[in-house]
Each structure stands twice: as C-alpha cells, then as structure tokens.
Structure 1
Amino acid sequence: MSAQGGTAMQERVTIRLAKQNMKFSAGHFTIFSASERERLHGHNFTVEVDIEARMLGNGMCFDYGLYKDRVVALCRELNEWTILPTRSPYLRIEEDGDHVYAHFDGQRIPFLRGDVLLLPIENATLEEFAGWFLQRLCEDREALRAHAIDAIEVRVLSGPGQSAGRRVRLG
C-alpha cells in the first residue's frame, strides 16, 4: 500500500489486553484536601491495557503475551494490600517496627507493617494507579522500541462504570 507521493505507509494496530486475571484487590482511602479524606475501604480493581504498535510482518505486530504476563505480575504486586501513597502533600508516613502510621489532619492512623504497601504515588486513586501501571510498563524502553510500540494506555476500573486511564506516546 502506498500513500500519496509514493511513500509506503506502515499499518498500525491496537492490541487490547483485558484478561480476567488482570485484577487486584486492595484497601485505600482517597485524600481530597488537607482536611478531607474517604474512610478506609477496598475495591476489586481490574486493569486494561491498549498498546498501539506497527505491524512487523507475518500478520502480527509482536508477541503481546509478554505484556499480558507483565500486567498480571504487576497486579499481583498490589493484590491484598492496604495501599498508602508516599508522595501526598497531605499525608505523612511514619514507619516504626511492626507498624506504619499515616498522619493526616492531626490524626495518627495505625496499620500493621505487614498489611501496608507504600507506593510512590500522590494519592490512592484510579488516576494514580493507572499512572503507576503505565510507568512500570514503560520501564524497558528498548523492548518497546523493538516491538515497534507507539503508544500505551492503561485503564484501571474500580467497578462497572468507574475507571481512569493514562496514556503515553512513545518515540
């Protein structure tokens, strides 16, 4: 196929990864301001990934099983934790032996260390979880180039009808 001017067009494809095992269960609370937050609660989150890539021949773009496995592994990292953000301007984290304390608006909220996952995010929100997955999926830039990947979008859902997505264009 050729475009105007005789130069060859390279076909692009979008692969959607939305497997049943791309999920995690976690406790969290969203921080709205310096004095307002949700109560601690949990969700069964699901993760979907769209990968835009160039066709590489042989009727395919790349072995996207590699990315399915990576998303499942990342979900396992978050599964069955209470997630606390370490970059919030309104939350201070204190670690003391077997305990973690979240300091918020004059409150000292205790957690068992073994129940808490401290994530380098600003808030425990769908938007930030999507960004965390996206950042982790984009760590191996060499592999992304080798697979001719142009863009990745990650969407995290906390239930039917409620999700947030983050997208990055590569190259």
Structure 2
Amino acid sequence: MSQRIYRLQVTKDQLGFAAAHFITMRGKCERLHGHNYRVTVEVEGFLGEDKYVVDFGVLKKHATEIARTLDHRVLLAAENAKIAYSQDEQHITVCYEEKYYVFPLAEVILLPIENTTAELLASYFCAELSERLHHDGVNTLKMVGVWVSEGPGQQAFANIEWPQA
C-alpha cells in the first residue's frame, strides 16, 4: 500500500522582500532596478507521528528569516563570471564592462548564484529553506519548493526533491 503524499503551501505578507538588482543577459547588463518580491513556499511529504507533515509555524519562521536577509538590499550574483567585484572596509565596487556601481557593504548581499533572476532567487531561497528544515530534523518531506514573484503575473519556481527518510 502506498503512503499518501500531502502538499502544504505558505504565502504571507512577511514572506515578501523589496530589493534592487540587475541581471546580465544576451551580452548586456540591465539597468539597476527593484522589485517588491513575493515568496510562496510549498512542501510535499508524509504525515509524521503527530499527523502533520511539518509545522506551519516552522515553515513561516524560516521563510520569514530568509526573506529578511534579502529585504532592502542590493542583490548581487557572486558567481557571475561577467561581473567583477572589489571591496574595501565599507564599500563594494561592481563592474560589468564600462558600467560600475559603488555600494555600501551593509546594503548589499552577495548571493552564491550566477545571476539574480527570479529562477535563481527561487533556487537560492529553496536551498536555504531546505538546509534550515534539515537542520531542524524535519524528516517527513519529499519536496521543498519556492515561488518567487517579481510582480503580478510573473513568477518562478524551484524545488529540491528530498530522499525518503
């Protein structure tokens, strides 16, 4: 007999973040601009002994903490080979061909991704959430997924499949 799989979804006001970014694509660099991002978290899994997959409060707590680290920041792709970075004690300089920006370090977050697209932001958020849930000992999950919306009608989804515990 197969076990029933359940899907949970969390989307709350505190799961949003406002951030500036630019992406490199097709040999060009977009202008620096911002979004009011919205995040939706989905998990799939099996009921545990306590008859739920994972506590909604745990999902909200971790997702909110991750969103706060991105809120009111300039998002930079640390693994983008087309962008050069240098920094001193207080500033980071970002160069793409003839374009360059200087930002206060406290207002920037260097993400371990190749570009700050919605797809890769969803992937980053998903990996961070998965790591936190794993650290908490959550062992009922089959999948962790994250939607990142840049605005109404445009969003990207990334997920991580978990092996059965």
TM over 0.5: yes
Query: In the alignment, which of 2, 16, 33 is matched to residue 9 of structure 1?
Result: 2
Matched, 1:110 2:111: no
Distance across 2 between alignment mates of 1:115 and 1:46: 20
Residue 51 of structure 1 is matched in structure 2 by 43
Matched, 1:80 2:72: yes
TM-score, normalising length: structure 2: 0.90
The Cα RMSD (Å) is 1.7
- Compared CA separation, residues 119 and 139, structure 1 to 2 (3 A): same
Tell me how far 1:45 sits from its aligned partner. Answer: 0.3
Q: What code does the residue aligned with 1:131 have? A: S
Query: In the alignment, which of 73, 82, 93 is matched to residue 90 of structure 1?
Result: 82
Instruction: Give the secondary-structure state (helix, strand or coil) at the position aligned to 1:136.
Output: helix
Residue 68 of structure 1 is matched in structure 2 by 60
Residue 146 of structure 2 is matched in structure 1 by 154
Tell me how far 1:65 sits from its aligned partner. Answer: 1.3
- Percentage of matched positions with identical amino acids: 28
Query: In the alignment, which of 103, 108, 125 is matched to residue 117 of structure 2?
Result: 125
Gap regions ≥5 residues in structure 1? 1-7
Residue 3 of structure 1 is matched in structure 2 by none
Instruction: Give the secondary-structure state (helix, strand or coil) at the position aligned to 2:14.
Output: coil
Tell me how far 1:97 sits from its aligned partner. Answer: 2.7
Instruction: Give the secondary-structure state (helix, strand or coil) at the position aligned to 2:42.
Output: strand
Q: What code does the residue aligned with 1:90 have? A: K
String of CA shifts for 1:107-165, please: whole Å, max 9, x gaps: 3322222222111111111011101111111215364653x100111110011100111
String of CA shifts for 1:52-109, please: whole Å, max 9, x gaps: 0102255432313101110000000000001111100110111123221111013332
Matched, 1:25 2:18: yes
CA contact 2:127–2:160 (8 Å) conserved in 1: no
Q: What code does the residue aligned with 1:18 have? A: T
- Compared CA separation, residues 63 and 103, structure 1 to 2 (3 A): same
Number of aligned pairs?
162
CA contact 1:138–1:144 (8 Å) conserved in 2: no
Q: What code does the residue aligned with 1:28 have? A: H
Q: What code does the residue aligned with 2:21 have? A: H
Tell me how far 1:167 sits from its aligned partner. Answer: 1.2
Instruction: Give the secondary-structure state (helix, strand or coil) at the position aligned to 2:106.
Output: helix
TM-score, normalising length: structure 1: 0.87
Q: What code does the residue aligned with 1:13 have? A: Y
**Which has more radius of gyration?**
1
